[in-house]
Amino acid sequence: MTARPVPTGIEPGLMARFRIAGGQITWRTASSKRPANSKGKGAGGRIAHLHDEESRVEERTAGTSIVLVVESGPVGAIVVVLALDVRGLPNRLVTHEAAALPGFPNGAIEARWDAGSAERSLALSVADVVSLARYALV
C-alpha cells in the first residue's frame, strides 16, 4: 500500500492525526440560513461535530469552481485541512469577518479551487489553518 502524499507545509505525522480526526467527525444537516437566491449547487450546509465542538460547513460548485466555507474555529479548520489533503492547494484561501456571510455569525474560512486556473490568492496561510486545526486534536 502506497502512502498518500502530504499537502505542502504539513508534517506527515500531523497529517496522519488530522486524517484520523476526520474519520471521527460526525455530520448532520444544518438548518438552511442561506438566502433562497444563493448561487451554485449544494448551497445548503452541514454541521461537523468533533469532540465538544461544531462547525457549519457549506460546499458548493459554481461553474468549474468548488467553494468550501466553514465556520471559523478548530473543527472548521480541520475540514479545510482535509479538503487540502484531497484537492491540493486552493486558488483562494481567505477569512470572512463575523456575520459577513449568512449562516456564519462567528466568521468563516473560505477555500476555493478553480479548475484550470493557476492564479492564487492566499490571504490566509495554510500554516495558519493548520495551527487552528491542531486545537481540535485530542
Output the pTM of the full model.
Answer: 0.86
CA pseudo-torsion sign 61, 64, 110, 108: negative
For residue 121, the model assigns a pLDDT of: 85
DSSP 41: B
pLDDT band at residue 107, thresholds of 50, 70 and 90? very high
95 phi, psi to nearest 5 deg: -110, 160
Q: How far apart are CA 10 and CA 81, in angstroms?
A: 9
**Residue 110 pLDDT exceeds 60:** yes
Bridge partners, 117 (sequence order): none
Does residue 16 register a pLDDT over 50?
yes
Q: How confident is the model at residue 20 (pLDDT cuts 50, 70, 90)?
A: very high
pLDDT class of 127 with cuts at 50, 70, 90:
very high
* Residues of the chain above pLDDT 90, percent: 71
**The pLDDT value given to residue 23:** 97
Give the residue, 42 or 23, on which the prediction is more confident. Answer: 23
